[in-house]
Structure 1
Amino acid sequence: MTNKRLSVVVTGANRGIGLELVSQYLTDGWQVHSCCREPELATQLASLASNSALSIHQLDVGNPDSVENLGLALSEHSIDLLINNAGIYGGERQSFGDIDYEQWARVLNVNTLGPYRVSTALADQVENSERRLIVNVSSTMGSIEQYASGGHYIYRSSKTALNMVTVNLAHDLRSRGITVLSVHPGWVRTDMGGSSADISTPTSATGLRQLIDDVSIVDSGRFFSWDGSPLPW
């Protein structure tokens, strides 16, 4: 495997936090493997393609064949950092008595099974790297202890389940030296977060990168906010 520089895989890289992480890691000289469902429509991501350190891959984390193809495409690369960022909200029908069950299944497939699929497909490449780190982008909306209000059944359950996936991966991959975290990116001004959210994508991405720089295997299986503060499950 080759390891000429530190490398990162970012899913959901066509917009929002994912796009900002791609931009910042490129600026810092990393090899960046960016992934999104429809690369031909990812104009902002394509605008960064003049940097030879960027590769763009088609990936639908909800499709097992697509994930397998990514694993094959990156089979000869070491991956220091995998950021499972791709996710969807699931529409407005998420209240008691008004649930879109098809959407619920779709969101669980993308937000929960997706990160597991990608982590499984790329675990060997992560193990054969210097940093050996997997970061699952979760949310405080998935925290059972912290989140007090009701509603948002679909999105919240998908992130709570993702947090359990993080803990399981941390146990199962510890012997291979791989650190696995869940992170809350903050309430960010993105298409999902809306224009009234607390922080910008550069602020969130910068904080997440600092957190990623600071953690080690002793932190594996934990849940952190974008600013480095620990969060309850």
Structure 2
Amino acid sequence: MHIVITGAGRGIGRTLADRYRAQGHSVTGTARDGSAEIILDVTKPDQQRAMASQLRDTAVDLLICNAGVYLDKSESIVGYPTEMWAQTFASNVTGVFLTVQALLPNLRKAKGKIAILSSQMASHTRAPGGSYIYRSSKAAVLNLGRNLSTDLRHDGIAVGIYHPGWVQTDMGGPAAEITVDQAVDGLMARFKDLSLENTGCFDTFDGQAHAY
């Protein structure tokens, strides 16, 4: 398989890339800081076009939309500046759409799959408060993924949305519940199981259907 992973410079993205390569797959990783094969800030359309040009007509069997930011972790209700909303949605929502849009010809060629990393924080039934921007962006990308699954079904492209767990990464912090390896073990199994039969799913890394 040829797999494209955004945000592959560290954490979950980097571990996914390493694991898939170890299995013999061809992997193209992206990172905005140059720590992966392709420099890509997912918010920049010109860099999205450059990525598509680099890949040319290479079929993409699996696109993993992993890149994202969590900028409002320490904000209080009197905070949440306007520019933080714009930056977060540009990365976590628009960036996913731009990536899918840029690689759609490559995905169509392979009748590939799209895996979008959202979060349990997208769920409207789970509302403990706080992190308003991040929660809203992950809810939005869940909605985006669900609608993409409808529109891309006729192309033979399955779309899954996933909660990777609360993971011990720079974003999740050292107190998180699971290791990167545990998250990646589960996610790889979920991506393998993704098909047109379960397209539009919102699942946890360990295979449970998540409440919307």
TM-score, structure 2 length as denominator? Answer: 0.97
1:7 aligns with 2:2: yes
Aligned to 2:189: 210
Matched residue type, 2:52: G
1:210 alignment partner, SS class = helix
Corresponding position of 1:35: 30
Q: Is the 8 A contact 1:93 1:99 kept in 2?
A: no
Count residues with an aligned counterpart. 212
CA–CA distance in structure 2, aligned partners of residues 15 and 210 of structure 1: 20
Matches within 5 A, 1:119-158: 119-129=100-110, 132-145=112-125, 147-158=126-137
- Following superposition, the deviation at residue 7 of structure 1 comes to 0.7
Measure, in 1, the Cα distance between the counterparts of 2:72 and 2:129. Answer: 16
Q: 1:62-141 to 2 correspondence within 5 Å?
A: 62-92=43-73, 94-129=75-110, 132-141=112-121
In structure 2, what residue type is equivalent to 1:169?
Answer: L
Q: Which amino acid aligns with 2:82?
A: Y
Which of 195, 201, 207 is 2:180 aligned to? 201
The question of whether the paired residues in 2 share the 8 Å contact of 1:94 and 1:100 is answered with no
Q: What's the offset of the Cα at 1:92?
A: 3.9
Task: Find out whether 1:186 has 2:181 as its counterpart.
Answer: no
Q: Which runs of 5+ in 1 are unaligned?
A: 1-5, 46-55
Partner in structure 2 of residue 48 of structure 1: none
* Residue 17 of structure 1, aligned match among 12, 15, 29: 12
203-212 vs 80-89, which deviates more?
203-212
Deviation readout 1:141-192 (Å, 9 max, x if unpaired) = 01112x1211111100000000111011111101000001110100000000
**Which one-letter code corresponds to 2:48 in the other structure?**
V
Deviation at 1:138, TM superposition (A): 0.4
Q: CA deviation at 1:91?
A: 3.4
In structure 2, what is the Cα distance between the partners aligned to 1:129 and 1:16?
A: 27
For 1:93 and 1:189, the matched residues in 2 are separated by 18
Change (3 A) 1:207 1:92: closer
Distance 1:136 1:92 in 2: 21
Identity across matched positions, percent: 37
Q: CA deviation at 1:96?
A: 2.4
How much does 1:93 deviate? 5.2
Cα distance in 2, alignment partners of residues 60 and 162 from structure 1: 17
Runs (4 or more) in structure 1 with deviation over 3 Å come to: 91-95
Local SS of the residue matching 1:160 = helix
**Unaligned regions of 5+ residues in structure 2, if any?**
none
CA distance in 1, matches of 2:57, 2:105: 10
